[in-house]
Amino acid sequence: MSEQQTGTVEAVSRDDRHRFSKPVVPSIRLVAGYGIEGDSHAGATTQHRYLIRTDPTRPNLTQVHLMRSELLAELAAEGFDVSPGQLGENITTVGIDLLALPLGTRLHLGNDAVVEVTGMRDPCSMIDKFQSGLKKTLKHTDDAGRIVRKAGIMGIVVADGTVLPGDTLRVELPAGEPQPLGVV
């Protein structure tokens, strides 16, 4: 994978309440160590409802959720109707295979914002409440017995900035041996 790999931001979404889908908005403001201003998942410690119950002091490794728009096209080909923000992602991208990025990759978004990749999103049962059968499309076992997750990646904000649709997304790979993404 090239150090200079670039893509584009297709859409940005946020919601100040814990709902499954997030409405598309004209722009989002990323705040280092916090997340997306005005989003229910922003904070230095976990904001995920399940994780708060188990350990409210856990660092928030899921401040930003990114998903490839190419996935939405794949889902449409399988009969699902999903548009940006509807699976809870904050940033919908074009042109980058997000799931192939190693742990610690830095994504430069627009002029200033930087998100460090912390892991993959593990789709939950709420996805099937959104559209029946969608979870097994986003998380399944392949022929080799490996679990395949397609529901996007998570990250933390390491540099402030505003992100808008049409902004460039530049990939900065981490130094050293690439580490595969786990689930956060």
d(CA 76, CA 73): 5
Domain 6-122+151-171 matching CATH 3.40.50.10190: the answer reads no
What is the reported pLDDT for 4?
67
Q: How far apart are CA 91 and CA 104, in angstroms?
A: 18
Q: What is the pLDDT of residue 66?
A: 98
Of 84, 45, 49, which Cα lies nearest the Cα of 63? 45
Residue 154: φ, ψ to 5°: -120, 160
CA distance 13 to 36: 10
Closest CA to 47 of 38, 146, 166, 25: 38
The dihedrals phi and psi of 41, each to the nearest 5 degrees, come to -95, 5
- Predicted pLDDT of residue 1: 42
The pLDDT assigned to 98 comes to: 97
Q: How far apart are CA 66 and CA 78, in angstroms?
A: 21
Q: What's the rounded Cα separation, in Å, for the pair 71 and 119?
A: 17
Virtual CA dihedral for 136, 138, 144, 147, nearest 10 degrees?
-100
From first to last of the 184 residues of the chain, give the pLDDT tens digit.
445 699 999 999 999 998 889 999 999 999 999 999 999 999 999 887 777 788 888 899 999 999 999 999 999 999 999 999 999 999 999 999 999 999 999 999 999 999 999 999 998 878 988 999 999 999 999 999 999 999 999 999 999 999 999 999 999 999 999 999 999 9
Percentage helix, strand, coil, to 5, in the chain? Answer: 15, 35, 50
Closest CA to 63 of 49, 47, 87, 52: 47
Residue 8: strand, helix, or coil: strand
- Residue recorded with tokens 């295979």: 97
